[in-house]
Amino acid sequence: MKKATAIICVFNEEETVKNVILSTSKEQSIDEIVIINDGSTDKTDEIIDELQLQLDIKVIHFKKNKGKGYAMAIGVENATNDMVVFIDADQTSITPDYTKQLVDSLLNNECDMVLGYSTVNILSKDVNPLKILTGERALFKKDIIPILDKIKESRFGVETLLYFYYISLGKSIKFLMIEGLKHRDKYKKTAFTQATTNYISEGWEIVNTALKHYDLVIKSIQKSIIS
């Protein structure tokens, strides 16, 4: 079976990054792991360096934070496989072999990009109104090579950019719910004020990305109307 490169972009995730990397190293669908440390200021870099002594992983440390989009693009440039799987470094509960579900969706020609999302239970229903922003996704490297420069500039708006880019080209996207997958929210990572500020900043980056690439948004709407 063809396997994929896992790209894990990390910024101040000392509580979870070790378990995420170790779990990823056991995934059947992954045979290469690229870690991008996006200027972490906690003990993330020490943890990654220690793991590099035990595991066959490719590690790139940034001295300063460059944003999620830039980190993801550098990960793609350093991946040697045709398929890449992006994995969030803040997972607190990981479903074994969930990346195989993502990769299989591509290998079986079910879609051009698959987004693996988790849910929250509201009124006895599992929902996720923001699933297009999920960090767990698999795609073919060749499909995003043309927009790597745009990805580098997108910061936290990278998922929004990818969504509208794929839709604008008429490419198919599959949403796959991964049961048991959980993430550590910002209010558990840092002080309330800082966490709120981070959420607001990331929200603005998402909006700014959509505004900056309004041509893709318009094309996406046109494609949706036609289909």
Q: What is the model's pLDDT at position 96? A: 83
Q: What is the model's pLDDT at position 121? A: 47
Average pLDDT, the chain: 87
CATH code assigned at 12:
3.90.550.10
Alpha carbons 110 and 189: distance in angstroms, whole number: 36
- How many structural domains comprise the chain? 1
Q: What is the model's pLDDT at position 180? A: 79
State whether residue 6 is helix, strand or coil.
strand
Q: What is the model's pLDDT at position 202? A: 65
pLDDT < 50: residue spans in the chain: 121-123, 127
Instruction: Give the domain range for residue 189.
Output: 4-226
pLDDT tens digits along 103-119: 999 999 999 999 998 75
Assessment of whether the complete model's pTM goes beyond 0.75: yes
Alpha carbons 143 and 146: distance in angstroms, whole number: 7
CA angle 150, 18, 54 (to 5 degrees): 105
